[in-house]
Amino acid sequence: MPPELDQSPEPETALLDLGWSVEARPLAMFDRPLQVQVRDARLLGDRPWTRAVGPLNFTITSEGWRFPTPMMESAPRPPVLPSDTVELDPNSPRPAMIPPEETPIPTSADGTAAPREKRAVLPRPTPDTVLFKDRLLYLLQPPLNDVFAGKSVSVPFQPFPYQLEGIAFLMPRHAALLADEMGLGKTMQTILSIRLMLHAGLVRRVLLVCPKPLMFNWMRELKLWAGDLPYEVLGGDTESRRAAWIVSQCPLKLINYEILTRDIDILKDERVGFDLVVIDEAQRIKNRDSKTAQAVRAIRRERSWALTGTPIENRPEDLVNLFAFIDPGRIPAETPPKLLPQLTSDCILRRTKDLAQSDMPPLSFRDLCLEMTPAQQEAYHLAEKEGVIRLNEMGETLTVQHVFQLVMRLKQICNFDPLTGASAKLEQLLIDMEEVAESGRKAIIFSQWVEPLEVIAKALKSYNPLQFHGKIPSPDRPGILDKFKSDPNAHVLLMSYGTGSVGLNLQFTNYVFLFDRWWNPAIEDQAINRAHRIGQKYPVTVTRFTTDNTIEKRIADVLDAKRKIFHDLLSQNGPPANMGLTEDDIFGLFDIKPPRGKK
Asked if residue 107 belongs to a domain, the reply is no
The number of domains in the chain is 2
Asked if residue 254 belongs to a domain, the reply is yes
Let me know how many helices (H) and strands (E) the chain has, helices first.
19, 19
Asked if residue 191 belongs to a domain, the reply is yes
CB atoms within 10 A of CB 517: 24
Domain boundary among 356, 390, 410: 356
DSSP 80: B
Residue 519: closest CA among 443, 384, 408: 408
Provide the Cα torsion 280, 284, 287, 293; round to 10°: -60
The tens digit of pLDDT for each residue in 141-180 reads: 443 333 334 445 678 888 888 889 999 999 999 999 999 8
Are residues 428 and 545 located together in one domain of the fold?
yes
CATH code (residue 522): 3.40.50.300
Asked if residue 472 belongs to a domain, the reply is yes
Tell me the three state secondary structure of residue 254. Answer: strand
pLDDT of residue 576: 39
Asked if residue 65 belongs to a domain, the reply is no
Q: Which amino acid is at 376?
A: Q
Are residues 421 and 340 located together in one domain of the fold?
no
Residue 444: closest CA among 425, 423, 465: 465
Q: How far is residue 159's CA from residue 185's CA, in Å, rounded to a whole number?
A: 9
Residue 15: closest CA among 55, 45, 58: 55
Radius of gyration of the chain (CA): 27
Contact 81, 329 (CB under 8 A): no
For residue 165, give its domain range: 153-356
Are residues 347 and 368 located together in one domain of the fold?
no
Are residues 433 and 402 located together in one domain of the fold?
yes
DSSP bridge pairs for 348: 177
Are residues 404 and 458 located together in one domain of the fold?
yes
Asked if residue 470 belongs to a domain, the reply is yes
pLDDT of residue 104: 40
Asked if residue 29 belongs to a domain, the reply is no
DSSP bridge pairs for 545: 368
Dihedral sign of CA atoms 268, 187, 179, 76 in order: positive
CATH code (residue 242): 3.40.50.10810
Contact 512, 503 (CB under 8 A): no
Are residues 322 and 382 located together in one domain of the fold?
no
For the chain, percent of residues with pLDDT exceeding 70:
66
pLDDT of residue 386: 92
Q: How far is residue 280's CA from residue 325's CA, in Å, rounded to a whole number?
A: 13
Are residues 178 and 295 located together in one domain of the fold?
yes
DSSP bridge pairs for 363: 540
**Average pLDDT per consecutive 10 residues, the chain (599 residues; last block may be shorter):** 42 36 37 36 32 32 31 42 42 38 42 45 42 44 39 74 91 93 84 93 95 81 91 91 91 95 93 96 89 94 92 79 90 81 87 69 80 92 91 81 89 94 91 80 93 95 92 90 91 89 77 89 83 78 89 82 64 42 67 62
pLDDT of residue 591: 63
Asked if residue 38 belongs to a domain, the reply is no
Where do the H-state alpha helices sit in 186-336? 186-200, 215-225, 238-246, 257-262, 264-267, 291-297, 317-326
Are residues 430 and 329 located together in one domain of the fold?
no
Tell me the three state secondary structure of residue 163. Answer: helix
Are residues 307 and 369 located together in one domain of the fold?
no
Q: How far is residue 193's CA from residue 148's CA, in Å, rounded to a whole number?
A: 16
pLDDT of residue 169: 94
Q: Which amino acid is at 134?
A: D
Are residues 346 and 378 located together in one domain of the fold?
no
Are residues 349 and 367 located together in one domain of the fold?
no
Cα-based angle 308, 309, 310 (whole degrees, multiple of 5): 90
Are residues 171 and 196 located together in one domain of the fold?
yes
pLDDT of residue 503: 63
Provide the Cα torsion 125, 126, 127, 132; round to 10°: -50
Domain boundary among 356, 376, 409: 356
Question: In the β-sheet with 54-56, what is the strand arrangement from edge to edge?
Answer: 54-56, 14-16, 153-155
Q: How far is residue 1's CA from residue 517's CA, in Å, rounded to a whole number?
A: 33
Q: How far is residue 271's CA from residue 499's CA, in Å, rounded to a whole number?
A: 35
Q: Which CA distances in Å does 559 have to 499, 502, 511, 563, 565?
A: 21, 19, 21, 6, 10
- Rounded to 5 degrees, what are φ and ψ at 429? -65, -40
Contact 149, 40 (CB under 8 A): yes
Domain boundary among 329, 356, 383: 356
CB atoms within 10 A of CB 333: 6
